[in-house]
Structure 1
Amino acid sequence: MDASLRRELGAHLRAARAQVTPEDVGLSAGPRRRAPGLRREEVAALAGVSVAWYTWLEQGRVGTSRQVIDAVCRTLRMDDDARRHALALAGFLPGTPLAAGERAAPGAATRALLAGLATTPALALDERLDILTANAPYRALWGDPALLPAARRNLLLHLVTGPPGPYRVTDEEPLLRGLYQHFRTATAHAPDDPRAAEIVRLLHRERPEAAHWWDCRTVADFRPVTVTAGPRRLTFSLLRPVGDPGVLLLTQT
């Protein structure tokens, strides 16, 4: 487990700790607290580890056992997505195929599948949600992402800044939150990836009023979301073609 992943795991634990109240775990709130959530010593006691060890874990200074990670996740009331993310960061589950600087590419079969979806807008994406290719129904509805500058050829940026096509998503928050949580889940496994950092910087610049989204450390696999776009109701779904590691298919049915 390298140092950058240990730091990412520590940040994940700190963010989760801030969301748990003493009452959630059967403790008295006691005197006024300077920060939200549980104290480190409370997490350590409930998880059955020393305060020093848990502090080092949050600081990214040590690795640890599967047993300790499981105990901490239970104490912090993590949901299944957050727990799997913690275990993957700690090296106990297979992580995302994303590596810093790595670029995925859809194979011929995936491109043929996209082209064959004659009435369903669809994209091929990498784990950063960068757009690799779009089919004809997608281009007709949203405009051609290939015409965008390379730095902006990303699904999150495409939606945040308004696609060049005739329609806009009018109830965008659940969609953007879900996609960003998926982005965080994937890119946290390559915390030094320059492209992921560039996407976050551009999101902050384009939608500064949504900084609380871009700063949020919540992780989750994307679940289908239905939105309104002009006269249509579209359900966004993400699929993984087995033969193309690191490639995602976004369909809009």
Structure 2
Amino acid sequence: MAAAVDETAQTVLRRELGSFLRAHRERLTPSDVGLPSTPRRRTSGLRREEVAALSGVSVAWYTWVEQGRVDTSRQVLDAVARALRMDSTARRHALALAGFVTEPPEAGTDVSFDPAFRTMLDSWPDSPALLLDSTLDILAWNTAYTAVWPDPTALPPERRNLLMLLIGDARHQRLLPDWQPVFMDLYRHFRTRADQQPPAARSRQLTARMRTERPDLEAWWACRSVGDFTSRTIELLPQAGPPRTYSMTLLLTSEPQGGAVLVQTPT
């Protein structure tokens, strides 16, 4: 039974890698990679044979990789990533999908964190802060957070997820009217980890739930892009008092694995 589960997870990761490569191939034009443009091209972006030639592999082999039919070496994948002009984040993601990094914990694993994180959060009396796991589930928060944002204790544990709150909670959207770019940056951060996990993982369950609850955002759920969250300035509109401006930053942590601290510093 375990072998069957491993084989299924490996097949899923191969398909995810193939989709990721195809999405990058379709975004490029011949001029992007120094090739001449031809007047009649039925294929959006580069052709498979063009990527294969740039990567130094056969067309058949690259096609099989993109179709999720074979495993590939790190050397070949590095060459493909260069041919597709991937940045460092996208390249790391492709390597992770191919199994060249340590996989995150399996679904159902209890997430614990060092109590020192709670002490750290509480040391910021004026900066709302959250401790998040790799799926952006909320593990801990400080008093400054509940002074500005809705208190997570008012929600059932399964709803304490930052992505779910931003797309599905009216209170969060009223407080942060410009929530969409924040969500998309967080969602790309989430995807760098979600695609590496097996089908039963929390991340995949969460993705399915977001698709179900917000089918109007299908273009977002179909997006293949990944990236690191970039610090940004946000403006919050509390029910009482003037607008408040914060610098929002995501600090990665080693424990919990793949976790982060989201801190909002008053400006």
| Same fold at TM > 0.5 | yes
d(CA) in 2 for partners of 1:165, 1:44:
46
1:247 aligns with 259
Q: Tell me which amino acid in the other structure corresponds to 2:113.
A: P
TM-score, L = length of structure 1: 0.89
d(CA) in 1 for partners of 2:139, 2:20:
29
Does residue 1:215 correspond to 2:215, yes or no? no
Offset, 1:165? 6.4
Match of 1:123 among 130, 135, 139: 130
Give the number of aligned pairs. Answer: 252
Offset, 1:81? 0.5
Where in structure 2 are the equivalents of 1:14-163 lying within 5 Å?
Answer: 14-92=22-100, 94-95=101-102, 97-162=104-169
Q: Is the 8 A contact 1:123 1:251 kept in 2?
A: yes
What's the CA shift string for 1:93-142, capped at 9, x where partnerless?
x3463433334222211122122221111111110001112211111211
Q: Which deviates further from its counterpart, 225-234 or 160-169?
A: 160-169
d(CA) in 2 for partners of 1:178, 1:188:
16
Q: Which deviates further from its counterpart, 7-16 or 164-173?
A: 164-173
Give the fraction of aligned pairs with identical amino acids, expressed as a percent.
50
Kindly report structure 1 stretches of 4+ aligned residues shifted beyond 4 Å. none
CA shift in 2, pair 1:165/1:33, >3 Å: closer
What's the CA shift string for 1:177-215, capped at 9, x where partnerless?
110000000111104144223322333344433322221
1:168 aligns with 175
Q: Is the 8 A contact 2:28 2:45 kept in 1?
A: yes
Gaps of 5+ in 1: none
Q: Is the 8 A contact 1:127 1:186 kept in 2?
A: yes
Gaps of 5+ in 2: 1-8, 238-242
**Paired residue secondary structure (1:36):** coil
